[in-house]
Amino acid sequence: MKFIDQVSIYAAAGKGGDGVVAFRREAHVPKGGPAGGDGGKGGSIVFQATNSLTTLLDLRYNRKYIAKAGGNGMAKKMHGADAADMVIKVPVGTVVYDEDTGKILCDLVKDGQHAIVCKGGRGGRGNARFATSRNPAPTICERGEPGEEMNLKVELKLLADVGLVGFPSVGKSTLLSVVSKARPKIADYHFTTIVPNLGVVQVKDGRSFVMADLPGLIEGASQGRGLGHQFLRHIERCRVIVHVVDMSGSEGRDPYEDYLQINKELGEYKYHLLDRPQIVVANKMDLDEAEENLVRFKEKVGDDVQVFPIIAPIHEGLDAMLYAIADTLDKAPLSTLEEEEDTVVYSFDEDDVPPFEIHNEGNGVFVVTGEKVERLVQMAALYTDDGFNRFARQIRNMGVDEGLRISGAKDGDTVRILDFEFTFSD
């Protein structure tokens, strides 16, 4: 199966059903009495995590998700049917972002965990809801509220305790294959691994953890070079980083320079990866010059960095390394994406947002924009006198009339809100 770990999609929740104007037949009740029912709720877009999926492949081939609208209200105060939510199943470890703002909408880390990403619109009220002693037979109703819609970026970030990092061909895949039952592709050329691999590692004392073998990093990976930048996101959840170094320098590289370069890329990536516990593994100790290089390497990194020499194919040195990883995991704090977000230094309440803005388009045309006033237009039933008068009172109370006067609107000018136009009268 093709491994897909990042997809952009469009999601739209369902519109609420419209309320209706209706009357019943009853003696001595004006116009039979109001009996218009409410509309049903629109379907929401829900993301649900499941262990039965391992890739976002399904989302790659279906980029639009649109939930159904709620049913319209009916006579005899009958409510319209609520629309079913649209459930999008994704692998455990999926993060959903608002693609336009970059904000994290949900982070699904447990099987069965779900989150409403786009909320369905509420149903409009029927005229039975607007009856009063002063107006016992109203012809007012509401249209259904539009559902939320947005462009989403969906990312899969593997749930691994330990991440293997290092240059290409340093032996990460070989190491994973000998400490777990994972069978990654192994060959003597660069970028043999082009997708992350996971394996469960069992330590001899009974402890276990999940290890991820990630495609090799190269210089500039944090800025987008090579394959590694595509998979750095999978290190974000790892609590311990195992840094594998080819101590033999078999490709003419200096092991210490390799070590510094990989740490530089980790440091320049987000989420403070260098602050996480790191274990250094000196691999390929059976090759020429490995012993001499190890001595020089330890002198340069100092005594604070513990280095574990291993020969992965013959399992030499693996037990000490695995015990060290398990001990470090026991003390490593849990890391979540929310904890890594920048600290909020200022926030504002919704009441601070202006309910509308007025734009003078010239030639006597004024355009009114704003989420609150646009929502009034979308839900107003403008085809009855009562409905139109109610809408006029609402925008007047909101201050639109006064704002238009201040903006220079005169009698006969055209005012446009979304696709609704009316003539301004002072």
pLDDT in tens, 375-403: 999 999 888 888 888 999 999 998 899 88
Q: Is 215 annotated as a binding residue?
A: yes
Domain termination site, one of 156, 183, 214:
156
Q: Is 111 annotated as a binding residue?
A: no
Judged against a pLDDT cut of 70, whether residue 224 lies above it is answered with no
Q: Is 172 annotated as a binding residue?
A: yes
Question: Structural domain tally of the chain?
Answer: 3
> Exposed/middle/buried for 419, CB within 10 Å: 0-12, 13-18, 19+?
exposed
Q: Is 166 annotated as a binding residue?
A: yes
> What is the rounded distance in angstroms from the CA atom of residue 56 to the CA atom of residue 105?
17
> What is the rounded distance in angstroms from the CA atom of residue 26 to the CA atom of residue 186?
83
pLDDT in tens, 305-356: 889 999 988 889 999 999 999 999 998 876 555 444 443 334 344 555 567 8
Nearest to 311 by CA among 289, 345, 282: 282
Does any domain span residue 218? Answer: yes
> What is the rounded distance in angstroms from the CA atom of residue 100 to the CA atom of residue 402?
33
- Both 365 and 232 in a single domain? no
pLDDT of residue 225: 46
Q: Is 211 annotated as a binding residue?
A: no
Judged against a pLDDT cut of 50, whether residue 23 lies above it is answered with yes
Judged against a pLDDT cut of 70, whether residue 194 lies above it is answered with no
CATH number at residue 171: 3.40.50.300
- Both 211 and 237 in a single domain? yes
Least confident of 63-67, 208-212, 271-275, 345-349: 345-349
Give Cβ neighbours of residue 198 (< 8 Å, ≥ 6 apart).
Answer: 158, 160, 182, 210, 211, 212, 213
- Both 172 and 109 in a single domain? no
Q: Is 195 annotated as a binding residue?
A: yes
Does any domain span residue 1? Answer: no
- Both 325 and 390 in a single domain? no
Q: Is 168 annotated as a binding residue?
A: yes
Q: Give backbone dihedrals phi and psi of 274, rounded to 5 degrees, phi first.
A: -70, -15
Q: Is 321 annotated as a binding residue?
A: no
- Both 252 and 272 in a single domain? yes
Q: Is 216 annotated as a binding residue?
A: yes
Q: Is 191 annotated as a binding residue?
A: yes
| Amino acid residing at 123 | G
pLDDT of residue 351: 56
Q: Is 286 annotated as a binding residue?
A: yes
- Both 334 and 212 in a single domain? yes
CATH number at residue 361: 3.30.300.350
Q: Is 406 annotated as a binding residue?
A: no
pLDDT of residue 186: 47
- Both 365 and 272 in a single domain? no
Q: Is 109 annotated as a binding residue?
A: no
Q: Is 2 annotated as a binding residue?
A: no
| Amino acid residing at 364 | G
- Both 389 and 359 in a single domain? yes
Maximum distance among all Cα pairs of the chain, rounded to whole angstroms:
105
Q: Is 213 annotated as a binding residue?
A: yes
- Both 200 and 301 in a single domain? yes
Q: Given CA atoms 216, 218, 223, 225 in this order, what sign does their dihedral have?
A: negative
Which residue range(s) make up the domain with 35? 6-156
Q: Is 193 annotated as a binding residue?
A: yes
Q: Is 320 annotated as a binding residue?
A: no
- Both 194 and 275 in a single domain? yes
Q: Is 313 annotated as a binding residue?
A: yes
Q: Is 391 annotated as a binding residue?
A: no
> What is the rounded distance in angstroms from the CA atom of residue 281 to the CA atom of residue 209?
17
Q: Is 364 annotated as a binding residue?
A: no
Q: Tell me the average pLDDT of the chain.
A: 84
Q: Is 372 annotated as a binding residue?
A: no
pLDDT of residue 345: 39
pLDDT of residue 167: 85
High-pLDDT (> 70) share of the chain, %: 86
- Both 279 and 376 in a single domain? no
